[in-house]
Amino acid sequence: MHVVGNKLNIKSTVVKNICCIGAGYVGGPTMAVIAKHCPEIQVNVVDLNKNRINSWNDINLNNLPIFEPGLDLIIKEVRGKNLHFSTDVKDSVIQADLIFIAVNTPTKSKGIGAGQASDLRWIEGCVREISEYAQGHTIVVEKSTLPVRTAEVIEKILNTKSKNDDKTFSILSNPEFLSEGTAIDDLENPNRVLIGGEDELAIKTLYDIYAKWVNKEKIICTNIWSSELSKLTANAFLAQRISSINAISALCEKTGADINEVTNAVGKDERIGEKFLKSGPGFGGSCFKKDILNLVYLCNYFNLPEVADYWMNIINLNHWQQKRISKLIIEKLFGTVTGKKIAILGFSFKANTNDTRESPAIQICKDLLDEGAKLAIHDPRVSQKNIEFELGIKSKNIDESDSRIKGDSLTQEIYFYWCENIKDSVNGADAVVILTEWNEYKNLKPNLFNTNMRKPAWIFDCRDVLNNFQVDKNTINYWRVGKG
Ligand code: UDX
Ligand code: UDX
């Protein structure tokens, strides 16, 4: 453990007011859990996006901008008491003893490092605002995943400005390891909390906040660079497991092995472990790809091209897995999907979230649309608008006549059908493609497919959710990832 960890018997500063900049998938749930466990602290979550803040303040808890199991109950308990959502960055920063930065850090789209490095313009913008408005001593905590040594940049901006007045700052790194869909449980019972920094008093102050509900043994203190690199490394390792198992899934399909039997046998080795070995259409989410690209950029920057290539291949394999699935669907449907209705079940990047960032469904749907397929998309939580945004095309609501689409409905216009229920999506379809492991899809009855699809039909179970599934083998073909 870093030396600071041994000195945690020092007295911490009393925190009365916390500000979090960024009310997204990380900032919102994390602050809700902190507010729940620290009723004596006022927590202000601020965001530039007014609509998002309005949704956080919506009386109807179904309208929260983020769907996370258990989040609504906590919001109900603490919102308006010690948890507040607003767009007032200035006032919230003025009041804060401790500020979390939880804004998004997308991959740069142009300039040096385009396609790999993180775009830090929002981080820099926030830091400049903090340096302008903060008062007295403020602890600034990086919550966003950042390239290693970003804390140095933050420190430079804050300390240059504050030389001329009586403001002082301590910078900490406190990466978030929550996983969407289980965010509340991950925050309530984390495997570990990581705090990186040099200022012992600041570390102890943040440590004491987490220690209100997290077992002290699980709070790890490191130097700031180790903390930043640990987050990238953890995500890279997790993504690597998925690419590894997806690579083997393709081999299983060729050889007659069954991926479930292989993962069961392999995962029983305690050194390997059973978690994160589920093959599927490839990993999505806002973190894995971005963090690996960051790692690749860092390795190239420090002239380690072999290491950069090693990690880059994890992403390449993930892309290949998505492409091979769309190619396979087209091949199985007699080499053409033009004008055919294909039901897409699931659009979020995993179950129990409405998040679609980097979802494998995006690439697979785009490939099928390019080939002229008519997609009928269903997802229990993702909005019609969000799917339109991700695919860059408009949708039509499916109605009775549409749901009887036949193979001859050729048209030049590109759109997809938005389906509020599963039956509308499957009705008259030549193929069903399951892309997210939602519970709703696990118990679908064979009859839904046997009676409603156009024959011969295909079911592509890319998440292997339809366990022991019996369909009429004479008219319906069933493919599942890692088995063929
Ligand atoms: C998180 C992490 O913070 C990021 O590092 C990680 O790699 C991806 O996940 P997340 O909470 O998922 O980000 O992002 P998002 O849901 O996009 O929320 C970020 C919020 O910050 C947005 O609501 C955005 O409006 C807000 N924002 C952004 C600001 O308030 N100010 C800014 O200057 C920039
Ligand atoms: C991830 C990390 O788990 C979390 O610690 C970090 O803070 C943010 O990034 P998240 O992206 O929310 O969390 O979800 P995760 O459960 O890791 O899933 C990522 C992707 O991998 C999803 O598309 C999921 O479907 C896929 N996945 C996961 C698999 O294909 N197989 C698996 O066995 C596990």
Q: What percent of the chain has pLDDT over 70?
A: 94
Q: Mean pLDDT of all residues in the chain?
A: 92
pLDDT-derived band of residue 95, with 50, 70 and 90 as boundaries? very high
Ligand nearest to the CA of 27: 1
What tokens does 75 get? 């919001």
Checking if the pLDDT of 107 tops 60, the result is: yes
Ligand nearest to the CA of 347: 2
Residue 355: what pLDDT? 94
> CA 276 → CA 208, 291, 298, 484, distances in Å?
32, 18, 26, 21
Instruction: Average the pLDDT over 397-405 and give the result.
Output: 59
Torsion of CA 247, 253, 259, 265, to 10 degrees: -90
What tokens does 201 get? 């008093």
Ligand 1 proximity of 49 Cβ (cutoff 6 Å): yes
CA angle, 81 as apex, 76 and 83 as ends, to 5°?
75
Alpha-helical segments (H) within 10-149: 27-37, 50-56, 71-78, 89-95, 121-133
Checking if the pLDDT of 449 tops 60, the result is: yes
pLDDT-derived band of residue 6, with 50, 70 and 90 as boundaries? very low
CA dihedral for 353, 114, 51, 99, sign (positive or negative): positive
Compare 258 and 147 and report the one with higher pLDDT.
258
Torsion of CA 376, 381, 384, 388, to 10 degrees: -90
Instruction: Average the pLDDT over 384-402 and give the result.
Output: 85
Checking if the pLDDT of 407 tops 60, the result is: no
Closest among 182, 181, 99, 108 to 143, alpha carbons compared: 99
Ligand 2 proximity of 382 Cβ (cutoff 6 Å): no
Residue 161: what pLDDT? 65
Distance separating alpha carbons of residues 379 and 366, to the nearest angstrom: 17
What tokens does 264 get? 């069961």
CA dihedral for 448, 453, 455, 459, sign (positive or negative): negative
Query: What's the whole-model pTM score?
Result: 0.92
Residue 152: what pLDDT? 84
Checking if the pLDDT of 340 tops 80, the result is: yes
Q: Which of 70-74, 142-146, 171-175, 480-484 has the weakest average pLDDT?
A: 142-146
Classify residue 107 as exposed, middle or buried by CB count within 10 Å of its CB (0-12, 13-18, 19+).
Answer: middle
Distance separating alpha carbons of residues 394 and 293, to the nearest angstrom: 31
Ligand 2 proximity of 435 Cβ (cutoff 6 Å): no
What tokens does 440 get? 């709703």
What tokens does 294 get? 């960051």
Q: Could you tell me where the beta strands, DSSP code E, fall in 210-289?
A: 219-222
CB 456 within 8 A of CB 475: yes
Q: Ligand 2, atom 20: nearest CA belongs to which residue?
A: 283
**pLDDT, tens only, 19-68:** 999 999 999 999 999 999 999 999 999 999 999 999 999 999 999 999 99
Q: Ligand 2, atom 7: nearest CA belongs to which residue?
A: 177
Q: How far is CA 170 from the centre of its chain?
A: 29
Residue 399: what pLDDT? 67
What tokens does 261 get? 């039997």
Q: Does an H or E element contain 100, and which?
A: strand 98-101
pLDDT-derived band of residue 3, with 50, 70 and 90 as boundaries? very low
Best mutation site among 86, 90, 104 for ligand 1 pocket (most ligand atoms within 8 Å of CB): 104
Q: What percent of the chain has pLDDT over 90?
A: 79
Please enumerate, as own/partner, the contacts of 56-63 that have beta carbons within 8 Å and a separation of 24 or more: 56/23, 56/28, 56/85, 57/85
Give the catalytic positions in this structure: 176, 231, 287
Instruction: Average the pLDDT over 89-112 and give the result.
Output: 92
Dist. CA 69 → ligand 2 center (Å): 16
Instruction: Average the pLDDT over 132-151 and give the result.
Output: 89
Best mutation site among 57, 93, 103 for ligand 1 pocket (most ligand atoms within 8 Å of CB): 103
Residue 400: what pLDDT? 52
Encode burial over 40-69: b for 16+ CB neighbours within 10 A, e otherwise: ebbbbbbbeeeebbebbeeeeeeebbbbbe
Residue 5: what pLDDT? 44
Q: Does an H or E element contain 416, and which?
A: strand 416-418
Q: How far apart are the first and last CA of the chain?
A: 47
Ligand 1 proximity of 288 Cβ (cutoff 6 Å): no
- Domains plus CATH for the chain? 5-222 (3.40.50.720), 318-480 (3.40.50.720)
Instruction: Average the pLDDT over 158-175 and give the result.
Output: 83
What tokens does 35 get? 């507010």
How do 457-461 and 17-21 pair as beta strands? unpaired
Instruction: Average the pLDDT over 328-351 and give the result.
Output: 97
Query: What letter would DSSP give residue 138?
Result: E
Q: Ligand 2, atom 11: nearest CA belongs to which residue?
A: 285
**pLDDT, tens only, 306-337:** 999 999 999 999 999 999 999 999 999 999 99
Distance separating alpha carbons of residues 448 and 237, to the nearest angstrom: 39
Q: Ligand 2, atom 3: nearest CA belongs to which residue?
A: 179
Residue 187: what pLDDT? 98
Distance separating alpha carbons of residues 430 and 424, to the nearest angstrom: 13
Minimum-distance ligand 2 atom for the alpha carbon of 349:
23
* DSSP, residue by residue, 165-225: SS-EEEEEE------TTSHHHHHHS-S-EEEE-S-HHHHHHHHHHHTTTS-GGGEEEE-HH
What tokens does 464 get? 């292997």
Distance separating alpha carbons of residues 141 and 149, to the nearest angstrom: 14
Checking if the pLDDT of 2 tops 70, the result is: no
Best mutation site among 68, 142, 242, 264 for ligand 2 pocket (most ligand atoms within 8 Å of CB): 242
